[in-house]
Amino acid sequence: MCGILAVLGCSDDSQAKRVRVLELSRRLKHRGPDWSGLYQHGDCYLAHQRLAIIDPASGDQPLFNEDKSIVVTVNGEIYNHEDLRKRLPNHTFRTGSDCDVIAHLYEEYGENFVDMLDGMFSFVLLDTRDNSFIVARDAIGITSLYIGWGLDGNVSKRFWFMSTGMVIDGYIYVLFCAQFRIELNLMLVTSILSSYYAIFSGSIWISSELKGLNDDCEHFECFPPGHLYSSKLGGLKQWYNPLWFSEAIPSTPYDPLVLRRAFENAVIKRLMTDVPFGVLLSGGLDSSLVASITARHLAGTKAAKQWGTQLHSFCVGLEGSPDLKAAKEVSDYLGTVHHEFHFTVQDGIDAIEEVIYHIETYDVTTIRASTPMFLMARKIKSLGVKMVISGEGSDEIFGGYLYFHKAPNKEEFHRETCQKIKALHQYDCLRANKSTSAWGLEARVPFLDKEFINVAMAIDPEWKMIKKGEGRIEKWVLRKAFDDEERPYLPKHILYRQKEQFSDGVGYSWIDGLKAHAAQHVTNKMMLNAERIYPHNTPNTKEAYYYRMIFERFFPQNSARLSVPGGASIACSTAKAVEWDATWSTNLDPSGRAALGVHVSAYDNQVPSASNSIPEIIGNVPLKMEVSTPGVAIQS
């Protein structure tokens, strides 16, 4: 993943401003350590920190059209770039970069070309002929992106500010003209408009991460996935609007072969690389299928010709964790070169502050899962690997989380999956993107392929429902699609292994240890005052309070705390799904083990308490990370 930063219409073309933009861009250097670029046109700045994956030799950014009148800075991968080049026969490309097509597509099709892109991306495009610009983010939000507004500048546009109205301590805060704030006591307000119209006069900032703009913007927020910002229109428009977005109940019969082919195609297109790569392998269904398909189709690809046909796989966990055992078994079955990384609870605790700085959230389950992934990404990068393929997204599409066992009917099941996919950019996509980008490693996620999602979300959700009496466990339709007796993709017991959330699978004592550590740093008195200290998304556990304290040290702005989602959750559910079981409201925890009566190692089956087990966890496990296999051997 690369890092992009753009400052548009700031009314300042001085050297001092250029130096400031460069300084802020360097905050994103971990995302792209291979090269840096900055383009300035008057008071518009486009900066780029490059992670070179395709055409490492000549694909530096920003990129241009033939006469350099159109400039673009991009983070991501365009998997269909070769097909798109064929549709542009009258254009001359300067590089072999997959992102080089964007400027030329804009020349040919105007602002309506974004839906032609098949990939993960965020970009800023500046048309210097009229100083107009567009900003776009991929359909699901695999790449991270934020938009901010500064007080400087001459960009004068109209906005509907729904997200800038907020309720804090009994007051409505409304950002008006990005220059002053109106405070209205709730007691005096009988109705609140659903949207707020404002005239904004100031610069617009775009950044891959919060840290690139939070200190220089009056207000900032997450750039919505599947949207385009157009300076000509003066606002956002949704470019991605598939049928499932309406949450209407689909009726397409389940066809396992159609589903299988769609996912195989999604994996194959992500083998596009000019650098060494591998797969993340936890031993669960999703990552194991990704590894199996990659191993089957790697031979004959350009990547295989450059780096050899031996697939490398990577796993992380506490000593003796469920994932380590299952991943090793899958690796042996597929014949991958397997790299197993161990960490301890203390290793993870020591990394928490750095993790929160990089992933930019205080969401409990995201931090739990990001920490081992963050540690693993560093080890992977040290072995010379720059890209990995991962299994995020399957649980949202197929209802794989254990709380889906309690879905009352197919309608609620389907609506929950739709809501979960729409929120991925705030949770698993954010984790996968930022945990790996922290070390200059790119993660690709085939389950979030646009075409595959369309196929999977068109299936009548009755087929996805969990029915134990019929032998249908979570994600049964996916498991059945790859249950091939003649050419097995995976061993049966792996294909039908119960869902483990990543933060659980790395070792159950990981979460128990985090809770115990937080309890040592957050007192009962602090919890009593939590609602006054943190009125927005008030932490309801000591662990959540601990993460919130760290987050607010790094990102103290109100816009930053508003960028993180909240609400009740059980085993990663939405707040709505908590209503599916009356007992859940008293047992709120994002761990899969909170799904009492479903998970085989649910909390109610655990005898030792976290407080009793923490000294053993830290005391009996080596504090150093270990690599149990040799480094990556790259074949040429």
Side chain identity at residue 15, one-letter code: Q
For residue 291, count other CB atoms closer than 10 A to its CB: 30
Dist. CA 360–CA 369, nearest whole Å:
14
Side chain identity at residue 351, one-letter code: A
With left for phi above 0 and alpha for psi between -120 and 50, is residue 335 left, alpha or beta? left
3-state secondary structure of 355: helix
For residue 486, count other CB atoms closer than 10 A to its CB: 4
Specify whether the CB–CB gap between 425 and 140 falls below 8 A.
yes
Q: Positive or negative CA dihedral for 403, 287, 313, 373? A: negative
Task: Find the helix or strand (DSSP H, E) in which 106 lies.
Answer: helix 101-109
**Residues placed in the known binding site for L-glutamine:** 98
**Residues placed in the known binding site:** 98, 280, 316, 390-391
Sort strands 156-160 and 146-149 into parallel, antiparallel or unpaired. Answer: unpaired
177 is known as an active-site residue: no
**Residues placed in the known binding site for ATP:** 280, 316, 390-391
| Residue 482 token pair | 């790859």
Sequence-separated contacts (24+) of 409-416 with Cβ below 8 Å: 410/249, 410/460, 410/461, 410/462, 410/464, 410/465, 411/249, 411/461, 412/577, 412/580, 413/461, 413/464, 413/465, 414/247, 414/249, 414/250, 414/461, 414/464, 415/247, 416/573, 416/574, 416/576, 416/577
For residue 167, count other CB atoms closer than 10 A to its CB: 12
Q: Give me the DSSP letters along 77-101.
A: EETTHHHHHHT-TT---SS--GGGH
- What is the gyration radius of the CA atoms in the chain, in angstroms? 24
| Residue 121 token pair | 């991306």
Dist. CA 119–CA 121, nearest whole Å:
6
| Residue 7 token pair | 């400052």
Dist. CA 360–CA 427, nearest whole Å:
11
Cα-based angle 437, 6, 273 (whole degrees, multiple of 5): 40
Q: Which of 2, 44, 418, 572 is catalytic?
A: 2
Cβ burial of 425 (10 Å; 0-12, 13-18, 19+) is buried
Which active-site residues does the annotation give? Answer: 2
